[in-house]
Amino acid sequence: MGDVTQLLQSMARGHVDAADKLLPLVYSELRRLAASKMAREASGDTLQPTALVHEAWLRMGGDAQPVWNNRAHFLAAAAEAMRRILVENARRRLRLKRGGGAEQIELDECRIEAPMEDEKIIQVHDALEALASEDSEKAEIVKLRFFGGFGHDEIAAVLGVNEKTVRRHWEMAKVRLYQIISAQN
């Protein structure tokens, strides 16, 4: 059993000092996860991987962490927290980009722009929410694979299913997400 899993179990038993030991142990992995998520973000974003890790840590409970089954469960929750933060950040930037409450002025000519990165993030999020309402397991696989950077074997361990099932659901989910996004446009 790894150190992370042992610390998570200690936290579940009420040892408050375990949370203090957990963050330094998983910080580099969380930072790597955040950096991979930030690589998909538009350049010039003010949110940095370090800030994303810290915000996710706080949203997950900070020093008062809930009970985690194991390291994979903890990292899956961290990936989900980071995804939600990025979606909120994208929505905020889009709101500001579109005036953020400023007075709307009609222009004689308007220019149609290609979707920006923030719009794509929101579009994928909306499609993922639609998929979740149809099939929550496939949506969870997409979150862990696409946003968490997990491999098929790691996803199988988190969800407690066979790796072949994960691979099959991943392929079906990609097709369904494409259909949902195509219908939105």
Taking the chain, what is the end-to-end CA distance rounded to the nearest angstrom? 48
Residue indicated by tokens 């496939």:
138
Residues 6+ apart with CB under 8 A from 172: 138
Q: What's the mean pLDDT when you consider all of the chain?
A: 79
Tell me: pLDDT of 30 over 70.
Answer: yes
Please state the pTM of the whole predicted model. Answer: 0.55
So what's the pLDDT on residue 144? Answer: 86
Tell me: pLDDT of 125 over 90.
Answer: no
Q: What is the CATH number of domain 110-185?
A: 1.10.10.10
So what's the pLDDT on residue 109? Answer: 41
**Angle at Cα 118 formed by Cα 116 and Cα 123, nearest 5°?**
95
Residue 49 in contact with residue 3, Cβ under 8 Å?
no
